[in-house]
Amino acid sequence: MTTPLRFAAIGIDHRHIYGMAANMIDAGAEFAGWWTDGHPNTEEGFLSRFPDVPRAASAEALLDDPSIGLVLLSGIPRDRAGWAVKAMEAGKDVLSDKPGCTTPDQLETLRATVARTGRIWSIDFSERFEVPAVTRAAELVAEGAIGRVIQTLGIGPHRLNRATRPDWFFDRAAYGGILTDIASHQIDQFLFFTGSTEAEVTMATVANYANPADPGLQDFGEIALRGDGGHGYIRVDWYTPDALPTWGDGRLTILGTEGYIELRKYVDVGHEGTDHLILVNGTRCDRIDASGAGLPFFARLMADIRDRTETAMTQEHAFRVCDLSLQAQAMAEAAQ
């Protein structure tokens, strides 16, 4: 019998750790332990989901445990790259919450560490990897349902939830800026669906329109991209109204030469459920319930850790998403 992959979590400051850990367990991995600095407001929710997983005395205790093969990172964004380097130097593979890094220097250090250690540094782009509708869209695109993909239009609205946000959420240096942070999801989807291996940022904007008392917060951002496989437009914001029954009406439109797919991932007002997929081409005009399409990323990552392959996401893809998001952030701030 194959020994299950054992993983640990270092940093639970963002709620994305809930899905990261749960999906690794669902894929067959064993949650061996966790450590975080202090007691972030995510801790109560974390303990309710994983009550039997022990808290280690230190992060080093987890990094020194030879039975642990993978480390999940969801601490304060500015700290994730440093912990990733420590984990890889300790012989662990890494799955980081986004953003995986917040500065160009961090990205270069991560590149060098991967090259030196041969470890996997991956990022859980949850708006792709934890959304069954995206799984089904990828299958349809691969089947040729909309012809050649030439553009993606991704929007990532979020609810501010001010009362639950820690101080670092309002600190530009801590979270990296809105394009480095949440727009990385849409950059990932642009590269994936257009098949682009090279891309340039042609327009980028950040602003704070609704929260002047928090100058470190950027509550609006947009990006235009031109890649060797297609085009992309991205809009992200912190304006989700309270009446919406979820945190954001995230959508993705994939335009092909023979049709289009629209994903209404988390909500579609007037319709129940999640993972709504609309497919329109020469022979079909359908609304599809894609909620049962599955989340293959986590099992593929486990196989990559075992076989030293890149079936879940290539290493260069992870680097490229970070590079483009950092370029966009710098371009937008230079124009302010």
Pairing of strands 199-207, 149-157: unpaired
Give the ranges where 99-161 is alpha helix by DSSP (H): 104-117, 126-129, 132-142
Measured CA to CA, the distance from residue 41 to residue 238 in angstroms comes to 20
Give just the sign of the alpha carbon dihedral 225, 329, 248, 15.
positive
The residues, any chain, with a CB within 8 Å of residue 80's CB and separated by 6 or more, are 11, 73, 74, 96, 97, 99, 100, 101, 102
- Find, among 247, 298, 279, 255, the residue nearest to 154 by Cα: 255
- Find, among 110, 102, 46, the residue nearest to 79 by Cα: 102
CA atoms within 13 Å, Cβ hemisphere of 314:
9
Q: What is the pLDDT along the chain (336 residues), one digit of tens a residue?
A: 478 999 999 999 999 999 999 999 999 999 999 999 999 999 999 999 999 999 999 999 999 999 999 999 999 999 999 999 999 999 999 999 999 999 999 999 999 999 999 999 999 999 999 999 999 999 999 999 999 999 999 999 999 999 999 999 999 999 999 999 999 999 999 999 999 999 999 999 999 999 999 999 999 999 999 999 999 999 999 999 999 999 999 999 999 999 999 999 999 999 999 999 999 999 999 999 999 999 999 999 999 999 999 999 999 999 999 999 999 999 999 998
Beta carbons of 268 and 289 less than 8 angstroms apart: no
Phi and psi angles of residue 178, each rounded to the nearest 5 degrees, phi first = -65, -30
DSSP secondary structure code for residue 249 in this structure: -
CA atoms within 13 Å, Cβ hemisphere of 107:
21
Q: What is the pLDDT of residue 214?
A: 97
**Token pair 């820690």 in the structure block, residue:** 166
Q: What is the pLDDT of residue 2?
A: 74
Pairing of strands 259-264, 251-256: antiparallel
Phi and psi angles of residue 285, each rounded to the nearest 5 degrees, phi first = -145, 85
Pairing of strands 149-157, 231-237: parallel
Whether pTM exceeds 0.85: yes
Q: What is the pLDDT of residue 109?
A: 98
- CATH number given to 128-294+328-334: 3.30.360.10
- CATH number given to 6-124: 3.40.50.720
Q: Which long-range contacts (CB under 8 A, 24 or more apart) does 265-269 make?
A: 265/127, 265/131, 265/133, 265/134, 269/244
**Token pair 């599809």 in the structure block, residue:** 288
- Find, among 95, 21, 26, the residue nearest to 296 by Cα: 26
Q: At what angle do helices 183-194 and 315-334 cross, to 10 degrees?
A: 130
Domain spans of the chain, in order of start? 6-124, 128-294+328-334
3-state class (DSSP) for residue 256:
strand
Beta carbons of 97 and 73 less than 8 angstroms apart: yes
